[in-house]
Structure 1
């Protein structure tokens, strides 16, 4: 998993509440066994019409947003089914940060496991960010995980909370397998001891 330290990117606004995992990645595209390749199907029914053509009104199809790595959205993002394909598709598309007033719990946890930083900010701050994006084409934010700050080029800044353990994993680029491999030497020593002949008892 790629480490996350600091990111500067244009922000894509998706001002909708209760976006569920079926909207993030429709069930028709869950037949792959790899974690990659799902980005092309992200928000598929919103991005494309029934003929597979781009819907020009959808934010990710508008000029300037195709390379956005920060998604700003409404409350209860990632609700519905607990499928991990949702963060897979967001990550594969290129998003590294999602900012919302609230997230579904399982989706929130899965984000960290897949290199995405989900940030909870108040409704008021989210509305302010939507306004900034609307009033300034190409609005960018810098997300600094080490300092736990979000800032823009107009000297606006705010702090955010993140669990210390999850923060450390993102900074080091560690998923569950990577965390286990950090203990590889201890695991090796344990296995060697476990294979040693045990004393016989009578």
Structure 2
């Protein structure tokens, strides 16, 4: 998993509440367990018209937001079914941080497991950031170690994050990576177990 330490990028505003995981990555794109290539399905029904052409009204299709790595959105983002493909699709598209007032629990947890920062702020703060996300000239800076977000106008917002989740993002360790950090202890335990219970093989 890629480390998340600092991020300086522009943001795309998506002021829509209750965006569920089927809107983030529709079911027809879930036939793979590969984490790459899912960006083509991200917000598919929003990004594309019925004839398959890009929807010019959707924010990520607008030139000013091309390459945005931050998404600022409405409350209860990621509700619905518990598909891990949702953060996979966001990350594959290039979005490394989603800012909202609230997230669905399973989506929130899946983000940390895959290197996406789900950043929770108060409604007034999200509204202020949404207003400042006005294209490529609006740069946002996130410092995870300091737990700060600096807005384009220079305002600094402090955000809370669980210390364990913060550590895993900073070190780029998912659950498997964290387990592998204990490799020596695991090997020692397995060796002792074989000595104490040889009949178990």
Q: How does 1:25-64 map to 2 (within 5 A)?
A: 25-64=25-64
Name the CA distance, whole Å, in 1 between partners of 2:198 and 2:22: 57
Q: How many residues align?
A: 199
- How well do the aligned residues superpose, as a CA RMSD in angstroms? 1.6
Do the aligned residues in 1 keep the contact of 2:129 with 2:151 (CA within 8 Å)? no
Which residue is equivalent to 1:75? 75
Q: TM-score scaled to structure 1, two decimals?
A: 0.94
- Cα gap change, 1:191/1:37 in structure 2, threshold over 3 Å: closer, same or farther? same
Name the CA distance, whole Å, in 1 between partners of 2:18 and 2:26: 15
Unpaired runs of 5+ in structure 1? none
Which residue is equivalent to 2:124? 124
Name the CA distance, whole Å, in 2 between partners of 1:50 and 1:81: 24
Do the aligned residues in 1 keep the contact of 2:115 with 2:172 (CA within 8 Å)? yes
Deviation at 1:18, TM superposition (A): 0.3
Do the aligned residues in 2 keep the contact of 1:79 with 1:107 (CA within 8 Å)? yes
Do the aligned residues in 1 keep the contact of 2:47 with 2:58 (CA within 8 Å)? yes
Unpaired runs of 5+ in structure 2? none
Q: TM-score scaled to structure 2, two decimals?
A: 0.94
Name the CA distance, whole Å, in 1 between partners of 2:115 and 2:190: 31
Deviation at 1:117, TM superposition (A): 0.6
- In the TM superposition, structure 1's runs of 4+ consecutive aligned residues that sit over 3 Å from their partners are 197-200
Do the aligned residues in 2 keep the contact of 1:101 with 1:120 (CA within 8 Å)? yes
Do the aligned residues in 2 keep the contact of 1:11 with 1:138 (CA within 8 Å)? no
Deviation at 1:129, TM superposition (A): 1.1
Deviation at 1:95, TM superposition (A): 0.9
